């Protein structure tokens, strides 16, 4: 029986990529989008791609970044699936290679239990182009899930993961149920279930 469900954030719960949406305010969305696509397909090292993309939003006002991230669009069924999992007493956690300014706001709106992400460094109200945090590397999600399982006393069979990109591979290895949601080919190959309909309510058929 599933007791913990871990979601990726960008392009899984949120409809788009936070870094690309932020970079559009700087006119850099095309450049950032290309790097993101390559990283999610497993063509680029996640850490290097993250650092390169965050560097491109240097100079963005923090207030503008907060405004953007508090108005991100969610994928159909995001609120419903969180409520559904909660009704089944399944803990719901978000692991994001993106940023707390997006996931913290989403947690208030969607009601998941916990989130791990990265922090955009800022000074005097301006983003410096530097980043740090819990989800910086390609294997960060797997390592964090391993810790969570040990802390909660869960086996892999009691864990489900939902994601779309290459940096979700490491957490799929720690879960008995891996759901590739509108995902890249590399993740589909590692999944136990594949959803190609852009509606998170489809997860109810699996969990």
DSSP E strand stretches across the chain: 4-7, 91-99, 114-123, 126-133, 159-163, 177-181, 193-195
- What token pair was written down for 180? 């590739």
Nearest to 205 by CA among 177, 186, 182, 174: 177
C-alpha triplet 132, 43, 116: angle, nearest 5°? 30
The crossing angle, in degrees rounded to 10, of helices 29-40 and 46-55 is 170
Structure tokens at 141: 């999600």
8 is annotated as an active-site residue: yes
Which of 10, 29, 164, 168 is labelled catalytic? 10
Cβ–Cβ under 8 Å, residues 199 and 77: yes
| 154, HSE (Cβ side, Cα atoms, 13 Å) | 22
**Both tokens assigned to 155:** 């086996």
Q: Is 10 part of the annotated catalytic residue set? A: yes
Which residues are designated catalytic? Answer: 8, 10
């Amino acid at each position: 029986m599933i007791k913990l469900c871990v979601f990726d954030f960008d392009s899984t719960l949120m409809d788009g990529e936070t870094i690309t949406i932020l970079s559009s305010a700087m006119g850099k969305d095309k450049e950032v989008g290309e790097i993101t696509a390559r990283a999610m397909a497993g063509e680029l090292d996640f850490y290097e791609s993250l650092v390169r993309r965050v560097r491109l939003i240097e100079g963005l006002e923090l207030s503008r970044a907060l405004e953007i991230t508090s108005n991100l669009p969610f994928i159909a069924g995001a609120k419903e699936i969180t409520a559904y999992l909660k009704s089944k007493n399944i803990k719901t956690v978000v692991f994001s290679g993106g940023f707390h300014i997006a996931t913290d706001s989403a947690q208030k709106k969607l009601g998941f239990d916990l989130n791990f992400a990265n922090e955009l460094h800022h000074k005097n109200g301006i983003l410096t182009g530097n980043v740090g945090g819990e989800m910086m590397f390609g294997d960060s999600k797997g390592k964090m899930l391993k810790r969570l399982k040990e802390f909660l006393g869960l086996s892999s069979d009691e864990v489900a993961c939902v994601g779309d990109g290459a940096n979700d591979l490491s957490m799929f290895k720690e879960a008995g149920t891996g759901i590739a949601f509108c995902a890249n080919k590399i993740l589909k190959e590692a999944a136990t279930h594949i959803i190609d309909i852009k509606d998170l309510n489809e997860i109810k058929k699996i969990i």
